[in-house]
Chain A
């Protein structure tokens, strides 16, 4: 018999308590993993899109942490285009939107020009891309198409512009979850719908044989120095895609909530584990006395109790990952949020969740293990 088998049998002998402990921990860990997964998925999908589109800089209005609040004049895009280091530039407007008769489904509507980087990696499932001169035409992501039950040829009436139905000219698939769950209209239509001039723009710099780092730094400095003569208070901030994604307030909020939930889950997990293992030690005082009597040293008794706690934690991590994946899948079935949440868990998030859960096992098992190891054989054997 392996020592591991001995530990496993100790858990299996109390199937109900083991199952309840694993379930309790799994729910706590699952919610933590799900939230970490949401943040990670958004970050990865946005980073991946910028990478594919070869975007070097994202430019938004400075001190507008929500991103969607950014709004500045076309003076900036005109000036930025003139910079010698800039190879290409894509500007856009973006805002939250709802459609008439489907007010419960909130999505992002973006106004793009036909040369926007975003069209390069977009897969049109049905219909055609926007072209210059299109008015009251809309392309919708596949998730939004499903949520609004619209197909090419149907119309969407935005609540922001109830007088003009927009014709659906394409259903597309994007690697960015917000785009899949959103709509794209022409840049002028976007300006009309959102009431903004420009929300932000992305820049691809000229490489000229190198990695473009010098050009990127030069463009950043020049953009920071730009001032619109009509409103000198507006200042822009150019960031790398990685820095931009890290600084997006919504993502920061999700991450902060994820970590708060993680801390709560950790505390609940440790308390659950201490309770379970302390009860287990108390019930098995007699048995621990036997083990000590036949020569088991304190460290082996500690290893046994800690081993049980870690095994429980690992089982909880496994079930928690399934709970998290199931929870995310269930969320992505809801039209209210599926335009913002992507299903699936990256191995990194599962590994992080497992590591935290094992830590819960060790932290929660430590005190009961210490207590068990301190039992004197004669006292433990006398215990009823």
Chain B
């Protein structure tokens, strides 16, 4: 197993993030590589830096030290990070973050304004396909307030897939769901990861979520304290 950025879809190299007061390191030299089609769960206690790491991986925030690479290229040198985020990464959040005035179909189209060029009709058609994929076709014309929390998360998942990204980042995706809905969403994750060869990075407190991943990374105090892939490598 090689460890360089070129061998990974996404590679965080010795990433440091310091809180504004400068006293506390949210991330203290984290190195993590994610390969194509890999399902990685990042776990750890609250405040350990897992969401901060996810923000760095998704270029929602910039590291104070170190580098994040995508397909071997350093992201700090890219000027079109919005464009990169729109086309290469799908996000799923704990609180779904759907736009309340838009229907499910319209919410799914929001990232498409920055995706590959499509006509409004093609955008709507693509949204319908994605809603069908997550089992929400019949609820396409409903606004988020008319959907259950499980349904909202499935719409958010469809939105994350709007521009056919190769990487899906999810922050506590089942944190607001009951076990039945959580299982449905996790089943979708597993299915998508297999069908679309998606790399999936999920930040979670849930053991159930972590068990579904093929790699579990544990964090504490801004550092990775264990990595099941490394453990397997060591055993091999």
Question: A-side interface residues toward B, CB under 8 Å?
Answer: 1-3, 6, 9-10, 12-13, 286-287, 289-298, 300, 376-378, 381
Contacts and interface: CB of A to CB of B under 8 A. Distances in A.
Nearest to B58: A293
Nearest to A294: B111
Interface residues of B, number: 32
B149 interface: no
Contact of B82 (A3, A286, A296, A381): A296
A297 B114 contact: yes
Interface in B61-115: 61, 82-87, 89, 91, 93, 97, 99-102, 105-106, 109-111, 113-115
A296 B100 contact: no
Nearest to A296: B114
Contacts of B124: 1
Contacts of B105: 1
B87 A295 contact: yes
B120 interface: yes
* 10 interchain residue pairs of minimum CB distance: A295-B86, A297-B82, A13-B101, A294-B111, A295-B85, A290-B97, A295-B114, A377-B60, A378-B61, A1-B109
Contacts of B181: none
Interface in B113-139: 113-115, 120, 123-124
B18 interface: no
A9 B86 contact: no
A294 B55 CA distance: 12
A300 B60 contact: no
B146 to A, nearest CB: 15
Contacts of B100: 13
Contact of B91 (A1, A294, A298, A376): A294
28 contacts: A1-B106, A3-B113, A6-B110, A9-B102, A10-B101, A289-B97, A290-B110, A292-B82, A293-B58, A293-B60, A293-B85, A294-B162, A295-B82, A295-B83, A295-B85, A295-B86, A295-B87, A295-B114, A295-B163, A296-B86, A296-B110, A296-B114, A297-B82, A297-B83, A297-B114, A377-B61, A378-B55, A378-B61
B85 A376 contact: no
A89 B115 CA distance: 75
Contacts of A13: 100-101
Provide the main secondary structure of the chain A interface. helix
B145 to A, nearest CB: 12
Contacts of B162: 294
Contacts of A287: 99
B159 interface: yes
A218 B168 CA distance: 86
A381 B95 CA distance: 10
Contacts of A298: 82
A286 B101 CA distance: 14
B114 A381 contact: no
A287 B101 CA distance: 11
A290 B99 contact: yes
A295 to B, nearest CB: 2
A296 B113 contact: yes
A295 B111 contact: yes
A378 B57 CA distance: 13
A298 B87 CA distance: 16
B64 to A, nearest CB: 14
A352 to B, nearest CB: 34
Given A6-B113, A295-B163, A381-B97, 12 more contacts: A1-B123, A3-B113, A6-B110, A9-B101, A12-B101, A290-B97, A293-B91, A295-B84, A295-B111, A295-B115, A377-B60, A381-B60
Nearest to B102: A9
A2 B100 CA distance: 17
Nearest to B61: A378
Contacts of B58: 293
Nearest to B109: A1
A300 B97 contact: no
A318 B37 CA distance: 55
A18 to B, nearest CB: 12
Nearest to B165: A295
Contacts of A292: 82
A4 to B, nearest CB: 10
A357 B8 CA distance: 54
A238 to B, nearest CB: 64
Nearest to A379: B61
A26 B61 CA distance: 42
Contact of A294 (B101, B106, B120, B159): B159
A378 B97 CA distance: 13
Contacts of A289: 97
Contacts of B60: 293, 377-378, 381
Contacts of B111: 294-295
A10, A287, A293, A298 — most chain B CB neighbours (10 Å): A293
Contacts of A6: 102, 106, 110, 113
Contacts of B87: 295
Nearest to A301: B82
Given A295-B114, A378-B60, A2 B102 contact: no
A378 B159 CA distance: 19
Contacts of A291: 110
B28 to A, nearest CB: 19
B86 A376 contact: no
